[in-house]
Structure 1
Amino acid sequence: MKRKFKVTYIFFLLAFSVSFAQVKISGVVLDVQNKTIPFANIVFAGSTEGTVSDENGKFYLESDKTYSEIEVSFLGFETKTITIKSRDFNLAIILQESADQLDEVFIYSGKVKKKGNPAIDILRKVWEKKRQNGIYLFDQYQYEKYEKLEFDMNNVDSSFMKKKLFKGMEFIFNSIDTSRITGKSFLPIFINESVYNSYGKNKDGQKLREDLVANKNSGFNSNQNVIAFIKDLYVEYNIYDSYIKIFDKSFVSPISKASGISTYNYVLTDSAYINNKWCYNILYYPRRKSELTFKGDFWVNDSTFAIKEINMQATRSANINWVKDIYIEQEFDVLNDSVFLLKRDYMLSDFSLNKKNKSKGVYGRRTTMYKDYKFDEKKEPSFYNEKINVYDEEIYNKKEDFWGENRQEKLNENELGIYKMLDTLTTVPKFKQIYNAISILGSGYIEFNNFDFGSIFSTIGKNDVEGLRLRVGGRTYLGGNEPWRLQGYTAYGFEDNQFKYGLSGKWMINPKSRFIIGAGNRRDVEQIGVSLTSTNDVLGRSFASSSFFASGDNSKLTSINLSNVFMSVEPRENLQFKIGASFRTLKSASPETFNLDYWIDKENELKSSEVIQSEIDFSIRYTPNRKTIGYGVERNEVTDTYSTLFLNYSQGIKGVFNSDFDYQKIQLYYRQPILIGGFGRMFTTFEVGKTFGEVPLGLLNVVPGNQSYFTIENSYALLNYYEFVTDTYASLHIEHNFNGRFLSRIPLLRKLNLRELVGIKGVWGEISDKNLALNASNINYVAPTKGYYEYSVGIGNIFKVFRIDFSWRGNYKDVPDANKFAIKGAFGFHF
C-alpha cells in the first residue's frame, strides 16, 4: 500500500465496511421503575467469568464452557440468579432494591461511599506495594514476544452481504466469526503476526532492543502503513501508571493512586482462586460521564497485592472520535512478593463513524504474549545499540513449521483462513477498483505501474497574480522502498500567461547510514515569508499562495528561481546532518502593487528589483521518538507527536554566479509536545535566529502573518504579510488542547464532545539600521521591538472534523490596518 494518511485506513475499512462458544447471552439490566442500571455485575454462576453492563445497562457475555445460570448484582440491589439457555439474547433483567444496603450506597447517583469501603482498603495496599512491571526490578532482562494484529469488518448481517458492492466477492463471507467481547459478527480482512526477541537494561539509562525474528502478513500486499498505524494506536502502557495513553488520549487508570478514587467507584464483589492463588475481585466504574475512563474489574492477589488479571472497557460516552468501543485485557504471572510479569495483553477497538449499536465499523485487535523471561544475563552496553536488518527477506519467509512452534496462541480456524481468502480477494477486479479509488483519496496520487500522477489536490489554484492556475505533476514509484526518486510538476497561470515548473531527484547511496544526495530546480510564483525558519525545499509551496484560502490581499507574491543540491546522512536513528548549496533569484511577481527593491547607490538613486544570491547551508535535525514507515529514499511518518530540534547555519557568498550579498544566518527551531495527564496535550514551539551582514527584504526574516480563513501552525493569526520584518528574532507559540476536560462536565454540552483550546503567541525582533537603509521597496517594514503577542481560545471537535479559533491582538493595536480580532477555522481528522 502506498503512502497514505493514517486515518484514511480507518475510512477505507469503514466505507468497505460461525462461532464455537457454548453459551452466548445479551440483554439489559433494569430496576423496578424500568430504568437502566449501568455498571451492574453479570457473571456465570459458580465461575469467575463475567462482565459489567455499560452506561446504558446493556451487556454481552459468552463462554466456551457450558453454563445454565447467571448472577446479576449491583450495590443497593438484591443479587438475582437467572436461568439461561445456550443462546439467550435480549434478556431484560429486573433487580429489586435492597433495603439493608441503602445506608451504604447512593442508589440514584451510583456513587459508592469511600469510608469503610473494603475495595478501597485493598486498593491502598496495591499502591503500597505498587511496582512497575517486574522486569524493571532487574538490571538486565530478556523475553520472547509474539504479536498478532488484526482488522475485521463488524456488524456484518445478511442485508450487508447482499449489497451490490460485494458482487463477485461473496466468498469472503465464508470467514465470518463472532466477537466474544461484543457479540457482533465480523469478517477478518487483515492479519499480521510477528515474533521478537526482546532485551532490556534498566541501570545507567534504560535501553530496549527488539529483534524482529519473523513476520507474516496477509491482507494488503504492501501493508507496512497499516502495521505501523495499528502499532502507533496500541502503544505500550502500564496499568499502574496514573494515566494510560490510547489514541493520543490520557485515560485515567483504574489503578491510579493520584486520580483513581476521585474518578471511579470501587466495589469488592468476590474472592476466588486464580491459578492456585487466592485473589479478590474488585468491580469499578466511573463517577461521571464523558470523561476518559474505563469500567470493568480486576483480580488482586491476597498476599502480594499485585494485579493478577484486569479488564478495562472505555465508557462509550468518552470524548474520543471514530472509536465506539475500547476493550483491554491483561494477565500477569505473579511469581513472588516483588515480581509479577506480563503474560498476555489483548486490546480491541471498534472504529465506527458513530456510536450507535447497529452502526457498522471495523475492529482493530492486538494480542501480545510473553514467555521465556530471563534475568541478569550480562550483555555489554554496545549490544543494545546494535540493530538487525529488519528488511532481511528471511524474516518474512518463515515456513509454517516455524509458526506452529512459535505462536504462543494458536490461530482459530477462521484466522487460519484469512491468508488464503485475502490472497484470493486481491485478484478480484472489483476489489482492485474500490481499493484504487480509496487510495487516490488517501495519497492524493493516481497510481500507475511505476509512476504516480498528482498531487490531485494541487491541480487547481487561484491568486491575484496568476489568476486561475492549473498544475500537473507526478513522481516515480517502484514499490515504495526504492533507493531513488524523481518528481516534478508544471503549472500555468491564465492571468500572467506564464508556465512554471519544479523538478527534483534524490538518491540514497548507503541505506544503512541513509546517505542521500539530491538536486532540484523550481521556477514559480509564491507567497514567501510564511515561516520564520527558512528551508530550501525545491518543491515546497504554501497554500497561502492561493486566494482560494485568502481572506485579504493576495498580491504580494514573489517570482522565485531556486536551484539546490544537497547531501544528508543519519549516523544514528532520527539524527540527520545535511549540507547543501543553493542559488536563487527573487523578484516581485506584480511590480505594480509590490516590490522587493533595494538600494545599490542611494545617493545616485540606483536600485535593484531583483535579488541574486548563492548560499551554502549546514543543518542538524533531531527528532527523538519519531516513527517512520519503509526504508526507501522517502519515508512516511506515522505520527507528528514527537519533538523536533532543528539547527541551521547559512552562508551567503557574494560574487558566485553574480551573487549580491555576503551574510551569515543562524536559526534554531524547537517543537515539543507535552502530554499533561488528564488535562490534554500542549504543543510549544520556540524559534530564534539572527542574520549577520547587510541584506534586503527578500533575505530577511519575515514574521509569518496569516491572511487566510484557516488556522495555520506557527503563523500569527492577526498579522498581515510583511507587517513585521526582522534580522534578529525570538518567537514562542504555546497551544493547549484540554480534550473536553471542562466542557464534558456541562450537561447541555456533554454529548457534543467539544474540546477546549487556548493559545498564546509572541515574537520579539529587531532590525539593524543598515538593513533598514537598504530598503527601497514599497513596504516600510518595522520590527516588533516591543514584543508582539496575541492570544486565542478555540472550540475543537465540532462535528468531529472542525475547529474554530477566536484570536485577539495583545498590542501594536495602533498600527494602520491592524487586525484586532479574527475568527479562523481548520478541518482535520483526530481521535
Structure 2
Amino acid sequence: MKNYLLIILCLLPALHLAQSKIMVSETGTEVPVRRAAVLCNDQILGYTDAKGELTFRTKCRQIDIKASGYDRENAVVDKVIQVGLSKTDPNTKSIEEVIITDKSDPRALAILKLVNDSYADNMPSSLDSYRYKSYEKISVDIDEDSLQYYNQSLSSMMKMMDRFSMTKKQPEDTAVTVKEVFANSKLFLWERAQEFLYSKKYGEKINVLDNRVAGLNEPLYELMAVQSNRNRMPKEIREENRNLYRYFLTDSIDIEGRKNYVISFREVTYRQPVQRRKFNGYLYVDAATYGLKKIESNSKIKSDGTITSIWQLIYGKWFLQSENLKMKLTNMNMEPESKDKSKAKVSDRSAAQDKTPDNFRTYAFVTSAYFDHESPTDDKASDFRGYTFSVKNSDGSLLQQYRKEPLSSREQNTYEVIDSLGQKYNIDRRAGQLAGLARGKFRYRQVDFDLGKLIGYNLYEGIRLGIAAKLNEKFNPYISPDAYIAYGFKDRGIKYGAGIDFTTSLERTSVIRAEYYNDVMAAGRFSENFWDFRMKLNNSGIAINNDRFYLFEGAKLSYDYDVSNSVSMKLAVRRQSEESAFPYSYKGLGNEFENTSALLSLKFSPFSKNIMTPQGKFTTEKKYPELFLNYEQAFEALGGDFSFGKLDMLFNHNFKNRLGVTGIRIYGGIMLGDAPIWHHYTMNGLAGSSNFKFNLTSYLGFSTMKGGQYFNDKFIGQYFTHRIPWYFKSIGQNSSSFDVIHRSVIGNMKDPEFHQFEFKKLDHLYQEVGLEWNNFLSSYFNLGLFYRVGYYNTPKFSDNFAVQLKFKLLGF
C-alpha cells in the first residue's frame, strides 16, 4: 500500500445502485453478529438478522458497521460484503491474538497456488484484443467524520485571529488561508479519463481522453501512467510474499451465482492488539476459474486506510471493475501557538481521539471505475502509432462524459479555490520542478539544471564541482541552447562545453544537436548512450579509483530520433583532439592525436512504456528486456590519425520465475584496428589500494578488482543476480530479502606492447560471488558482501573480500 501513497495514485469503485448483501461476524470465532447497524452517512440502512446478514440498497460507495461491544468498521459497497468485527475489550483482543495460529492454512495456500498458476490465463491480455475506458478521481481531504469538528475549530480560531488582526504576520496569514481551504473544499483533486487498447499484433496503447488537476494549468505527464492492479498481480497473492502474510480459508459464498472461496489474511508482524485489526483483509477467489473476484486490504492500524479492488468476468477473463483507496497521510494540528507543544502524541490512539478541535487526519482518496469493454476489436496500426501513452485532451472539458456521478459541492469548490491558489502561489512551477527531479533535473522558470553534474569525485580531478544549464521549452519549444562548466580541485583544470538542440517534432523525439566541448574522461569507459538517469547515476562511481584519464576537445553534430515506441536511434559525427593525462606513449608516437569518427547508437526496449511531454519523451514504466548497441568508425581520410572500428553491446533482462526473481546483464565490446589505450576497454575495477575494500555499487563494476588495472581490446562480461523468494522484516517496516550475485568478465588484447604504460590484460575469467541484503535493517540501502573466486583468487583473504553499499532506488 506504500507504493500507492508515494505516487498517490491507484483507483477505486464506481457507484453501486444494485442490491447488496452484507454478512457480519466476530473475528476469531466467526460467530454471526446480530443487530449490527449498517449506516450510510450516519443514516441507518438496517440491522443484521440472527445470521449476521442484511440485504440493502444504497447510493453510498462506503458504509459503516457498528454493534455494541465491537469496534466500528467500514466497507466498500459491493454485491456481497463480508465484515469481521473485533471486540472492544483489549484483554479479549490479547487472548484472540494468542489463539490465532502463526501458520497459514494449507487449504488457503493450495487455492492461492491455483490462483497464481491460472493468473496469466485469467488476464485480459490473454485475449487477442480488447478496448475499454476508465474514470479516476484522486483527492486529498479531511475524513468526512472530522469535518464538523474542523469547521467548529476553524470558526473559533478565526474569531480569535480577528482580535489580533493588527499583529498578524505573513506566515500566519498563509497558514490560515490553507486551513480555510479545508472548510469548503478539498486540498487536492485530480480527475482522469482513459481508454485502454490492446492487440497481440500491435501491443498496448493508452489514450488519456481528458484530465484536470486543481491548481494546475498543465497536466502531470509524468504521473499519467500510474496505474494500480489493472494489469499486474496484487502483492497480497504473489508467491514471494507468502512469508509476509498468513492465510486462512474462512468461507465460501455465492456472488452473482458463482461460488467464491473467501481467504482472510494478516501480516506476520502483528504483535500489539491495541487498535489493530485481526486480519489485513480478505481475498475472494472464483472457484471455477481461480480468478480474483475481490481483494479487501487494510492497514494494521484501523484508521490508517484501506483499499478494495473488484474484478468482473467479461469475455471469459477477469477485468478490473473498480477500486477504492483511503490512505492516511498525516495529522494536521490546529492548536493555537499558546498551547503546550510538549504534550505526548500517541501513534496508536483511536480515530475518535484524533477528532479533537485541535487535530485532524488528512487522507488520500482514490476512486476508479472501468467500463465500455469490447473484445475482439478491429486492429488498426494507426490506433497504436507513437508512444504507449497519448494525451488527447487535458483541460477537463470532456470529463463530464465519463463521470459516474456528479461532483459534490465540496469537489466543485475545490477547482475554484485551488485554481485561485495555484495562480497565487505558482503551483505549476513547483509541479514542474518535482517532475524535473524524475529526470535528474532541477527546473527554475525557463532553465533546467542537470543534477548529475553538480558534484563528482575521481582520482585525477579529486572533487569535481560543476553547473550545467539548459533553456527548456518555456523559452522555446523548438530551440534549446545549453552550457556547462566544471572545476577539478586536484588537477585545477576548468572543463566546459556548449550546445544547441533543434527539435523538429513535438510528437516524438526528433532532435538535431550541435555542440562544442573541452573535458576529461577516464580511459576505457563503456558507452552510456541512451542510458537513463538511474543507470548513469548507478555507474557514476565506475572510475572513482581509476587515475588513467585523457583530455579531449572538439565538436559534434548529431541527430536523435525515435523510430517507434520501442526503437531509438542516434547518428553523430565528431572531430576532436585527444591527449593522455598520464605518462603514456602509443607506438612511440607520443600521447596527442586527432580523431575523426562517425557513431551510430541504437536502443531496443520492446515492452517499456513512454509518453511525450513538453520536456521530451518520458519513460513511464521501464520493462525488460532492453538492448543497447553502439558502433564507432574512425577515419584517417578526414584528418584523423587512426582508422578503427569499435562495437559494444549491453543486454539487460529481469524476469520472475518460480524460484524467485532473476536479473541478467550481458555486455561486451571489440575494437578493430589501431588506437590509443583510451579507445580500448577498462575492466571496471572499483577497489582502491587499501587492504579493506569498501565501495559503492556501479552498473558494470567489480567490487574486488583494483581500478585502472586491466585493459582489453575485446571482452565479454556478465552480471547475474537472483532474488531468493523469502521476504522478511527486521527492525522496521520495509521488507527485506537476499540476492545471490555472480559477476564475471574475460577478454584479451593484441599487441599490448604498443601501449607504453603499466597495465595488465585480463585474458582469464575474472569472477566474484556475493550476497546482498536488500533494505538492510529496514533501511533504503542494500549491503553486499563479495568474494573473488577462480583464476584471480589469492591466498590472502583481504585481497579477495569486499563490502559494497547500494542505494535501493537505483534498482537492478
Do they fold alike, i.e. is TM over 0.5?
yes
Give the TM-score of the pair, scaled to structure 2.
0.72
- Structure 1 576/206 Cα, relative in aligned 2: closer, same or farther at 3 Å? closer
1:299, 1:550 → 2: CA distance? 49
Tell me, yes or no, if structure 1 residue 143 matches structure 2 residue 132: yes
Aligned runs of 1:159-198 on 2, under 5 Å?
Answer: 167-174=173-180, 176=182, 188-198=186-196
Residue 583 of structure 1 pairs with residue 562 of structure 2: no
SS at match of 2:44: coil
Which residue is equivalent to 2:381? 382
The Cα of 1:706 is off from its aligned counterpart by: 1.5
- What corresponds to 2:495 in structure 1? 500
Q: Which amino acid in the other structure matches residue 370 of structure 2?
A: Y
Matches within 5 A, 1:69-468: 82=68, 92-93=88-89, 107-109=99-101, 111=103, 114=106, 132=121, 139-151=128-140, 167-174=173-180, 176=182, 188-201=186-199, 205=201, 207-225=203-221, 227-228=223-224, 231-232=225-226, 234=228, 236-237=230-231, 243-244=233-234, 250-252=235-237, 264-268=247-251, 271=253, 277=257, 282-286=262-266, 288-289=268-269, 295-298=280-283, 308-313=293-298, 327-333=306-312, 338=316, 342-348=320-326, 357=348, 365-376=365-376, 379-382=378-381, 384-386=383-385, 395-399=393-397, 402-429=398-425, 447-452=443-448, 454-455=449-450, 458-459=453-454, 465-466=460-461
Label 1:763 to 1:72 Cα distance change in 2 as closer, same or farther (>3 A). farther
CA distance in 1, matches of 2:135, 2:412: 16
Give the SS at the match of 2:414: helix
Deviations 1:726-766 (A, max 9, x none): 11111101223448x2544xxx6686744323311100101
**CA contact under 8 A between 1:508 and 1:515: conserved in structure 2?**
yes
SS of equivalent residue, structure 1 residue 765: strand
Q: Which runs of structure 2 are paired with 1:612-627 in the superposition (5 Å)? A: 612-627=594-609
Equivalent-residue separation in structure 1 for 2:806 and 2:130 (angstroms): 47
Q: Does 1:794 align with 2:794?
A: no
Q: CA–CA distance in 2 between the matches of 1:341 and 1:476? A: 44
SS in 2 for 1:656: coil
Partner of 1:515: 510
What is the alpha-carbon distance in structure 2 between the residues aligned to residue 43 and residue 559 of structure 1?
A: 79
The residue aligned with 1:648 is 630
| Unmatched segments (≥5 aa) in structure 1 | 1-5, 14-28, 31-36, 50-60, 75-79, 178-185, 245-249, 318-323, 600-605
Percent identity of paired positions between Structure 1 and Structure 2: 16
1:767 maps to 749
* Alpha-carbon distance in 2 for matches of 1:648, 1:559: 22
* One-letter code aligned to 2:468: G
Tell me how far 1:109 sits from its aligned partner.
Answer: 1.8
- Find the aligned partners of 1:706 and 1:632 in 2 and give their Cα distance: 39
User: In 2, distance between residues paired with 1:750 and 1:713?
Assistant: 28
Amino acid aligned to 2:705: L
CA distance in 2, matches of 1:553, 1:305: 55
**Residues 1:724 and 2:710 are matched in the alignment:** yes
How far did 1:828 drift? 4.5
In structure 2, the CA distance between the partners of 1:643 and 1:192, relative to structure 1 (3 Å rule), is: farther
Q: 1:260 to 1:87 in 2, by over 3 A?
A: closer
Is 1:525 equivalent to 2:523 in the alignment? no
Where 1:722 maps in the other structure, the secondary structure is coil
1:670 to partner: Cα distance: 0.5
Residues 716-725 or 632-641, more deviating: 632-641
Residue 624 of structure 1 and its aligned partner are, at CA, apart by 2.5
Distance 2:110 2:460 in 1: 73
Amino acid at match of 1:345: E
CA distance in 2, matches of 1:449, 1:135: 44
- Deviation of the 1:46 alpha carbon: 6.7
Q: Distance in 2 between matches of 1:7 and 1:308?
A: 22
Counterpart in 2 of 1:597? 585
SS where residue 697 of structure 2 aligns? coil
Cα contact 1:743–1:750 (8 A) shared by 2 = no
Q: 1:530 and 1:620, CA in 2 relative to 1: closer, same or farther beyond 3 A?
A: closer
SS in structure 1 of the partner of residue 88 of structure 2? strand
1:245-277 residue CA offsets vs partner (Å, 9 max, x unmatched): xxxxx4425xx8997999511101x757x6x64
Corresponding residue SS for 1:690:
strand
Deviation at 1:466, TM superposition (A): 4.4
Structure 2 counterpart of 1:685: 665
What displacement does 1:364 show? 5.0
Q: Aligned residue for 1:477? A: 472
1: CA distance, partners of 2:534 / 2:496? 12
> Any stretches of 5+ residues in structure 2 without a counterpart?
10-23, 53-65, 75-84, 158-168, 272-277, 332-344, 355-359, 689-694
Q: Are the aligned partners of 1:8 and 1:442 in contact in 2 as well (CA < 8 Å)? A: no
Distance in structure 2 (CA, Å) of the matches to 1:781 and 1:749 = 46
Q: Quick check: 411-420 or 788-797, which moved more?
A: 411-420
Aligned to 1:609: 591
Question: What residue number does 1:675 align with?
Answer: 656
Distance in 1 (alpha carbons) for counterparts of 2:432 and 2:378: 48
Report the Cα offset of residue 123 of structure 1: 8.4
Taking structure 1 as the reference length, the TM-score comes to: 0.71
Change in CA separation of 1:688 and 1:388 when aligned onto 2, cut-off 3 Å: closer
Corresponding residue for residue 247 of structure 1: none
Letter in 2 for 1:109: T
Tell me which residue corresponds to 1:182: none
| One-letter amino acid matched to 2:250 | V
C-alpha RMSD over aligned residues: 5.5
Cα 1:333–1:716, aligned 2, differ >3 Å: closer, same or farther?
closer
Q: Deviations over 1:51-102 (max 9, x none)?
A: xxxxxxxxxx97665168689999xxxxx962689999997247979x9xx9
In structure 2, the CA distance between the partners of 1:310 and 1:707, relative to structure 1 (3 Å rule), is closer
Residues 458 and 546 in structure 2, CA contact (< 8 A), matched pair in contact too:
yes
User: Letter of the aligned partner of 1:195 in structure 2?
Assistant: A
